[in-house]
Structure formats: C-alpha cells, structure tokens
Amino acid sequence: MVSSNAPILITGASQRVGLHCAQRLLEEGQPVIVSYRTLRPGVEQLRAAGAVALQADFSSEAGILAFIGELRQHTASLRAIVHNASEWLAETPGDEAEVFTRMFSIHMLAPYLINLHGAELLQRSPQADIVHISDDVTRKGSSKHIAYCASKAGLESLTLSFAARLAPQVKVNGIAPALVMFQPGDDADYRARTLAKSALGIEPGPEVVYQSLRYLLDTPYVTGTTLTVNGGRHLK
C-alpha cells in the first residue's frame, strides 16, 4: 500500500494486537493516531516512532465525545478508523448491569459515535476505511462472558449498517479473530487446551490480524464483510 498523508486512527493501541498494528503501519510510513485507556510502555514506543497518542475513556458517552473533540483538534482527515479498543469482563452476581453497560459502551457506543462523527474526516480522504475488530466467540456465544459476546456481535451488526450507510466513499469491514496470542501468565495446560480448539493448532501472533487489516485497506471491492481469523475453530 502507498501510505496516505491522512492518518489512520487505531483505538486501544497501547498493547498487544493494537500496538503491533500501529507499529507496522508506522514502519510503512503511514501516519497514525492511537487512543489508549492506560499509559503503558507501548504508548511511549508509539510516540517515539511518530504516532499521536490520545488518552480516552470509552466507558461513557461523555468520554467518547471528549475523545472525538480532541481527535478533531489533531487532524482534518482520516485514511481509516480501526476500532480495536476492547475490554473482556465476565458477569459476577450483583454487577451484571454494570458489566453489560460497560461492554455496550466500549464495543458499540464508541464505534457508533466515532463513525458518525468521523465520517466527514474519512470522506476527505481519496481512500477511506472503517475496520471493526470483533471476536470469533460471536459465532457460538459464551456462557461466562455474555455481555462481552453480545456487544461484539452488535459490533458486527454495525459493520453491515455503516457499510450500507457510507458506501461508496467509505468501505466498512470487520475482523473476528480467535485467540492469537497468549497472556504471559497462561499456564501450559491452558495453552494446550486452547491450541486444541483450532484445526491448525498454533499461536499465530498479532501479525495475522495486521495481514487481515492490510488486506481490507488495500482491496477496493470488499465492504460489509467480517473476516474470520480463527485457525479453523469452526471445523472442530
């Protein structure tokens, strides 16, 4: 891809997949703006590489709108918006409504409002994309993370709706990965059980998500599609 002067916004890019995608784009000469909830070493790495990093709290409407206002102060156009910001919370007795509201705000309300308010910025770029990072868990549901799964499924619905609304100026697609990288504290038993869930049986790392993102940014003829990146979990 030929890099654009208009930046790509990646939300939730302080660590793991978001950080990796931001770093890869910067390596290609693409300007990047990232959001982060918690200041981590990755944020300083991105700033040192030339990214603009904006603190944001997507757990409330006020926090989302404040971020949109700050974003507009930093750029008049966007090449793409990549909605990667996420939180993985399970319901526990007594806090179900709080968890659901938080999951809805981060995974649906934030992308919804940022897309609506950011459409004008995207339409000022000759090429423009929105990419929603969903989760393969939406394929079959989750008994322990109901709110998380439901809100990620809602995000996939937003992909369809915004693809229809913003065509042909803006392509809107999604990526639904299964686990692509373990946490440092994951033990050997958990790793073995998790790897056994997919046909390919590997921990691929975050590059597979970047490759999917790169494809969606580069292809001119795909919109309203969510790419499944799960190593063949649906075959097991």
By annotation, the residues acting in catalysis are: 148
> 143 is written with which tokens?
């008994």
Concatenated DSSP letters for 37-89? Answer: SS--HHHHHHHHTT-EEEE--TTSHHHHHHHHHHHHHH-S--SEEEE------
> 176 is written with which tokens?
């639904």
At residue 159, what is the residue type? T
Angstrom distance (rounded) from CA 114 to CA 35: 12
User: How would you classify the pairing of strands 8-10 and 129-133?
Assistant: unpaired
Angstrom distance (rounded) from CA 121 to CA 179: 32
Nearest 5°: the CA angle 203, 154, 178 is: 5
